[in-house]
Amino acid sequence: MAQLQRPLFIQSQFIRQCCPPIARRATGPLFVRGRRARELHTATVSDSDIARLASLPLHPLTLADLVKHGRSSLTTAQLLASANFTLRILPSRLAHRIQSLRNLPFIVVSNPHISKIHSNYMHSFSTLLPWAEKEITTLEDEVKFAEVMADLVQTHANTISILARGFLEARKYISPKDVTRFLDEHLRARIGTRLIAEQHLALHFSSQPHAEIMHESEENPGFIGVIDTKLRPAKIVQHCENVVGEICELKYGVRPHVVINGEPEYTFAHVPVHLEYIITELLKNAFRATVESGMEREPIEVTIAPLPEEPSENNGESDGVDTRPRINMADQGTTDIASQRFTGNAPSTTTTDAQILPLAHSTPGVTIRIRDRGGGISPETLPHIWDYSFTTYNDDQASSTLSGRSSSGMDALHAMTGPGGDGTHSLAGLGYGLPLGRAYAEYFGGGIAVQSLWGWGTDVYLSLRGVGSVEEYR
């Protein structure tokens, strides 16, 4: 069995990437102080390994899956259960991503940047393969497995910007429509892969067997891994307002102010970093439109309203039809429809039609409306706001931005850090922000709706479903 040494992820990096600044807890080293990072064991990956695991059906992931092993400070048994749950679902998900990249036209996947993403997935797959046929039964094995998860998170930190550059260079060989389909599917699947790995890492750091290296405080008792069961959307909005406002003032010399109304004290359970990314993108658009239309004296209004709880039966419908919202495979990018278009193979119905309830019981959530007086979205632009677009910059400008050589022509309101380690400043002008925000919203059964009144302003409605009653999963 081959061995490969790679720089390992340290905990402070993990906290910065998976938790927003307002939700970070005490940090420390990744593993016990003084312990030298081990080399990761890898296995030689064959095409049959990929085909075998890629043939396994994937199922939608729910927030309940991520919290079912209990709150932070897990016991040894709960920690091992979390590790084995993670191990059961990650190898096949990586195999599906490798297969989807291989389904791209050869000239596209031969691009050095897209090829690099393929290599990264192959590396992560090779580190998981030695574990794929075993069960984790000891703390020593769990620590080794946590190192594999940390390496996986670090390896794929810059996937989005690398893929953006690759598809920009390959734009002559693949249509914008096909790029949007592929990226929407691939990046949604990436959300789940990273979230599964990050959740186990967070539980590892705060579990009872490893608590002595954490100096864990009680500042955030509502956290279960990367999920905040007492997430207050108003606090996220205020943080994002400060960040976006400072950059807006730097570029334009002025900044609109935000008014939060509705129920600002409302809390629910969700992933803070996902909400922070979405709100940041929506406020960037609202701030920019407001200032550039000369309406900076008009406030941007953010209304927070709890979603009505869904009854556990059938919503009282006389015909017995259950109309509760469901999570489907397309929401989470696990259908492989986009990549199979290039092969001529139609995906099976069992794969594409699989859908589940977010939870079997009521699921508290939130709707957030962001209203601006920025003049609205032009009728020509409105149909394309969900596209992964490459038309804002010309080739030279976009290549310069993606390679980090120059930011002189960059819109300052794109200079943000997105979730998962990707600096969205490297995606400026490429239209990634809004479709990625929608992907994060829809992943657990939420969504984003846009209503534009051209010449007046825009209302954006963000809905997110929560995790339900956490006590039921303890």
251 within a domain of the structure (yes/no): yes
Task: For residue 415, give the CATH number of its domain.
Answer: 3.30.565.10
Alpha-carbon distances, residue 152 vs 228, 304, 330 (angstroms): 23, 36, 24
β-pair type (457-465, 365-372): antiparallel
Q: What is the pLDDT of residue 423?
A: 45
Q: What is the mean pLDDT of the chain?
A: 78
303 within a domain of the structure (yes/no): yes
pLDDT at 247 exceeding the cut of 80: yes
Rounded mean pLDDT, 211-223: 56
User: Using 50, 70 and 90 to split pLDDT, how confident is the model at 1?
Assistant: very low
Residue written as token pair 């291989």: 102
Residue 404's Cβ-side half-sphere holds a number of Cα atoms within 13 Å equal to 6
Are 161 and 141 in contact by the 8 Å Cβ rule? The answer is: no
Residue 120: give the domain boundaries.
3-222
Question: Which tokens sit at 280?
Answer: 């940041």
**d(C-alpha 7, C-alpha 455), whole Å:** 52
Same domain, 249 and 186: no
Least confident of 8-17, 75-84, 124-133, 257-266: 8-17
Q: Last residue of some domain: 222, 251, 277? A: 222
Same domain, 209 and 242: no
Same domain, 77 and 43: yes
Same domain, 290 and 382: yes
Secondary structure string (H, E, C) spanning the chain: CCEECCCCCCHHHHHHHHCCHHHCCCCCCCCCCCCCCCCEECCCCCHHHHHHHHCCCCCCCCHHHHHCCCCCCCCHHHHHHHHHHHHHHHHHHHHHHHHHHHCCCHHHHCCHHHHHHHHHHHHHHHHHHHHCCCCCCCHHHHHHHHHHHHHHHHHCCCHHHHHHHHHHHCCCCCCHHHHHHHHHHHHHHHHHHHHHHHHHHHHHHHCHHHHHHCCCCCCCCCEECCEEEEECHHHHHHHHHHHHHHHHHHHHCCCCCEEEEECCCCCEEECHHHHHHHHHHHHHHHHHHHHHCCCCCCCEEEEEEEECCCCCCCCCCCCCCCCCCCEECHHHCCCCHHHHCCCCCCCCHHHHCCEECCCCCCCCEEEEEEEECCCCCCCCCHHHCCCCCCCCCCHHHHHHHHHCCCCCCCCHHHCCECHHHCEHHHHCCCCCHHHHHHHHHHCCCCEEEEEEECCCEEEEEEEEECCCCHHHHC
Same domain, 257 and 157: no
Q: What is the pLDDT of residue 402?
A: 52
Q: What is the pLDDT of residue 59?
A: 79
345 within a domain of the structure (yes/no): no
Same domain, 122 and 153: yes
335 within a domain of the structure (yes/no): no
133 within a domain of the structure (yes/no): yes
Residue 58's Cβ-side half-sphere holds a number of Cα atoms within 13 Å equal to 28
Tally of structural domains, the chain: 2
Same domain, 76 and 212: yes
pLDDT at 218 exceeding the cut of 70: no
Same domain, 210 and 234: no
Same domain, 19 and 126: yes
% of the chain exceeding 90 in pLDDT: 44
User: Using 50, 70 and 90 to split pLDDT, how confident is the model at 322?
Assistant: low
Q: Last residue of some domain: 164, 190, 222? A: 222
The per-residue pLDDT for range 325-353, each reduced to its tens digit, is 677 777 887 777 877 777 766 555 444 44
Same domain, 411 and 447: yes
Residues making up the chain, counted from first to last: 474
Same domain, 188 and 271: no
Q: Last residue of some domain: 168, 188, 222? A: 222
What phi and psi, each to the nearest 5 degrees, are found at residue 363? -130, 95
Task: For residue 205, give the CATH number of its domain.
Answer: 1.20.140.20
199 vs 338, residue with greater confidence: 199
Same domain, 257 and 294: yes
Q: What is the pLDDT of residue 342?
A: 77
Q: What is the pLDDT of residue 222?
A: 78
The per-residue pLDDT for range 74-131, each reduced to its tens digit, is 788 989 999 999 999 999 999 999 999 999 999 999 999 999 999 999 999 999 999 9
